Amino acid sequence: MKGKAALQAVGENRMLKREDLLLYLCTDRGLSLGRPITETVEAAIAGGVTMVQLREKAAPTGEFYAIAREVQAVTRRRHIPLVINDRLDIALAIGAEGLHIGQSDLPLREARRLAGDMFIGVSTSTLEEARQAQADGADYLGVGAVYPTGSKADAGEAIGLAGFAEICAAVRIPVVGIGGINTANTAAVIRAGAAGIAVISAILSQPDIEAASRTLRMIIDNGAK
């Protein structure tokens, strides 16, 4: 399925294709060198980003909603799934394709009951959390921090590549590596069993966002062969 039909399948039938997770951008306006969020998202998608997660930890609800609408206009036009971080209300209000929640957010079973056909990802950092999220119905996992990172204040202690690989091997659903991932270690994360990588500063803090995305995507595509 291509283009608009593929995007409708994600939103209407809770279908999440593994290839959607290859290069997963998590937004952070504070790390984007002052560039408008729509500009950064547009450039990242042009370079090969396959999914966008909108993270607005400090934004009031009205502002978050307005930003979500702006970003959604870009992702819909480019036929890329948009995932809302933490805020189920925002995801429902804009009709986002997905929701991503952490261990301290609304429990997955409750989020699933309310979210309808939206797909849901869960952040995990331990084998126990990963297995529980799978049992509760997560569509994919964001696992990490794989490496030490300064991009996410709540990332916790790095689990290392061995810990990441153990979680990948223990679950059936796709796993996305996050935390300290860059051009130097992307291939190792893919080889460890990742369906893809999630990055922030490796794309958003680079002078040329499109070029940074294209380089990461090339590494991923080569590593997945």
Q: What is the pLDDT of residues 185-196, one digit of tens each?
A: 999 999 999 999
Among 32, 112, 151, 152, the one annotated catalytic: 152
* Kind and range of the H or E run holding 98: strand 98-101
Whether 12 is covered by a domain: the verdict is no
Task: Decide if 28 is inside a domain.
Answer: yes
Q: Give how many domains the chain has, as a whole number.
A: 1
Q: Which residue matches tokens 């952490």?
A: 102
Q: Is residue 125 annotated as part of the catalytic site, yes or no?
A: no
* Within-domain flag for 137: yes
Write out the residue range of the structural domain in which residue 122 sits: 20-223
Note if 123 is an active site residue.
yes
Task: State the angle between helix axes of 127-136 and 108-115 in degrees (0 to 180), rounded to the nearest 10.
Answer: 30
* Average pLDDT of the segment spanning 4-8: 40
Tell me the pLDDT tens digit for each residue of 97-116. Answer: 999 999 999 999 999 999 99
| 8 Å CB contact between 182 and 203 | no
Which CATH number covers residue 33? 3.20.20.70
CA distances from 140 to 15, 72, 107, 131, 172 (A): 11, 21, 15, 11, 9
Residue tagged active-site, from 32, 112, 123, 151: 123
pLDDT tens, 37-78? 999 999 999 999 999 999 999 999 999 999 999 999 999 999
Is residue 174 assigned to a domain? yes
Phi then psi for 165, rounded to 5 degrees? Answer: -60, -35
Catalytic residue selected from 55, 87, 112, 217: 55
Confidence of residue 5 (pLDDT cuts 50, 70, 90): very low
My answer on whether omega of the bond before 145 falls inside 30° of 0, hence cis, is yes
DSSP per-residue codes, 123-185: EE-SHHHHHHHHHHT-SEEEEE-SS--SS-TT--S--HHHHHHHHHHH-SS-EEEESS--TTT
Answer whether residue 7 is part of any domain.
Answer: no
> CA quadruple 197, 205, 152, 17: dihedral positive or negative?
negative
> Residue 158 domain-assigned?
yes
> What letter would DSSP give residue 91?
H
Question: Is 67 among the domain residues?
Answer: yes
Q: Is 55 considered catalytic here?
A: yes
The type of residue at 186 is T
Angle at the Cα of 221 from the Cα atoms of 217 and 225, rounded to 5 degrees: 170
Residue 124, in any domain of the structure: yes
Percentage of the residues of the chain whose pLDDT score is greater than 90: 88
